[in-house]
Structures are given as structure tokens and as C-alpha cells.
């Protein structure tokens, strides 16, 4: 697929684009099967560790386990690696990067089970990409990074949906500091942050979000009775990243010709 100029402008001006129903129910069923297996593995492991090429970030919760994230989930789930190189994700990512190739940095599974307390405060992904001197370089001058979030389940108001700040893609890097939203919502938020610009994203399973490294976003606890799972893939302009991510195969090079010739 190819993005329109309007979609490209929206990505860089507003901060994200949403493409509903990009993956069909049959494909989502396969992805859910991979996530079910990841959950089974997490319950068996119980503590943070690397296994079969994936890095499980876990916390014990009585008889169960809280999954904070599974880094390079495609390491132990090859079907997820296929999704990460699918033209519907890779094509638009390359178009937004302005490149015929990319370094595939993230293949990450996020779980939010009802009441598990998993949440992600307001942040920009550049804080995870640029980890200090000589770890990141903005080569294309527009962030050099595209992240995608594929809804594995319906994303609703109640189950901890993603929220974006409209226009934040133009901020550049800002410091969100440390804050406690239960006690002081304004604590640590940058001056450019305004509640009126917050947009809560909902969508059916199969919907994909594309956003850049400066787009401010968050997602809070799942207060519903259903799962909310998201499959994240991250694509960097070749040579932008100089940090070694966990997971067997993380950072692999993907090229446009790989899928155009298939």
C-alpha cells in the first residue's frame, strides 16, 4: 500500500495516522495465537529474562504474572516477524522514512489484562531511541523513526487505549520528567502540553497506527473486563541507531525489494 500526500502531511503535522482494518480477522486470529503462546511462556517464566530469542519483562502477581512488555517478540514467534515485514506496515514506514531500507528495531508485544495495573505515562519514543551519546543520530532530519501499533483486540475507552497529543510531532524532544497522576496531574509535564490537544484512540482489531519519535503519547490502566493487546513494530532510518537492542535478530535490515519481488 502507498500513503497519500495528505496522510504523510498528517503524520508529520498532527503526529500520527490511523488505518482501520488493515489486517483481516483471519490474520488477527493468527496473531492472537502467537500472543496466547507468549502469555503461556510468560506464566511459565514468571520473572524477567531472555528465552528463545525474546526478552520477557515480567513481574510476579500472586499466582499469575504481569507482562510489562515482550521485547523482540518475533524471536520466539516467527509469524510475528512476518507481520513486521508485511508490505502493509513496511511500505508506509519506508515511505515516511524516505528510504528503500530500514533497520527493524522493535517487534514488541504489549498486554493489558483487566486490572493488572499496566500503564505507560506520557512520553516520546525518542527518549527510548536516543539513550545518550552515540546511541542515536537523526539522519533524515525528520526523526529517522516510524513506529506502528497494530490492535490485536478492539481498543476501547475502557481498556487502556492509546492517547496522543495533537501537534506534538513538531515539538522536538521535550522532558516529561517524573510525575504521579494520582496526586498531581500537572507535575513534570512540559509547558507545551495542553489537555485540549489530547486525542483518545479507539478502533477495531486489525487497525494500525503509525506515529513518529516525537509524538507524545500514553496509555493508562485497563478498567474493562476484556484484554487489550497491541503488537508494536519500530523502523529506523538505516544508520540512525547505534544501540544494541535485546532479542535475537533485533535490528535486522529490511529492504523494499524484499517484498516488491514476492
Q: Where are the domains of the chain?
A: 5-260
Tell me the average pLDDT across 190-196.
89
What is the CATH T-level fold of the domain 5-260, as seen in this structure? Jelly Rolls (2.60.120)
The pTM is what? 0.93
What pLDDT, in 10s, does the model give residues 215-232?
999 999 999 999 999 999
Q: Which residues contact 134 (CB under 8 A, 6 or more apart)?
A: 242
pLDDT given at position 180:
52
Residue closest to 164 by CA, chosen among 211, 118, 112, 119: 211
Answer yes or no: is pLDDT of 109 > 90. Answer: yes
Tell me the average pLDDT across 244-248.
94
Cα separation of 167 and 193, whole Å? 10
What pLDDT, in 10s, does the model give residues 76-88?
999 999 999 999 9
Cα separation of 112 and 114, whole Å? 7
Amino acid at each position: 500500500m502507498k500513503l497519500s500526500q495528505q496522510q504523510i502531511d498528517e503524520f508529520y503535522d498532527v503526529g500520527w495516522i490511523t488505518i482501520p482494518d488493515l489486517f483481516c480477522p483471519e490474520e488477527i486470529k493468527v496473531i492472537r495465537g502467537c500472543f496466547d503462546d507468549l502469555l503461556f511462556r510468560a506464566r511459565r517464566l514468571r520473572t524477567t529474562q531472555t528465552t528463545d530469542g525474546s526478552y520477557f519483562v515480567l513481574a510476579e502477581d500472586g499466582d499469575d504474572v504481569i507482562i510489562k512488555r515482550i521485547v523482540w517478540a518475533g524471536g520466539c514467534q516467527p509469524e510475528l516477524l512476518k507481520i513486521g515485514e508485511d508490505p502493509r506496515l513496511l511500505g508506509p514506514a519506508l515511505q515516511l522514512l524516505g528510504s528503500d531500507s530500514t533497520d527493524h528495531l522493535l517487534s514488541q508485544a504489549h498486554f493489558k489484562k483487566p486490572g493488572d495495573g499496566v500503564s505507560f505515562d506520557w512520553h516520546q519514543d525518542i527518549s527510548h531511541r536516543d539513550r545518550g551519546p552515540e546511541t542515536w543520530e537523526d539522519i533524515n532530519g525528520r526523526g529517522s523513526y516510524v513506529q506502528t501499533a497494530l490492535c490485536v483486540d478492539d481498543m476501547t475507552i475502557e481498556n487502556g487505549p492509546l492517547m496522543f497529543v495533537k501537534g506534538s510531532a513538531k515539538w522536538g524532544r521535550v522532558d516529561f520528567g517524573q510525575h504521579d497522576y494520582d496526586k498531581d496531574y500537572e507535575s513534570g509535564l512540559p509547558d507545551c502540553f495542553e489537555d485540549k490537544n489530547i486525542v483518545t484512540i479507539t478502533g477495531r482489531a486489525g487497525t494500525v497506527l503509525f506515529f513518529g519519535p516525537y509524538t507524545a503519547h500514553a496509555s493508562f490502566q485497563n478498567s474493562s473486563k476484556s484484554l487489550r493487546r497491541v503488537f508494536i513494530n519500530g523502523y529506523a532510518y538505516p544508520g540512525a541507531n547505534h544501540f544494541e537492542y535485546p532479542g535475537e535478530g533485533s535490528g535486522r535490515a529490511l529492504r523494499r525489494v524484499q517484498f516488491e519481488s514476492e
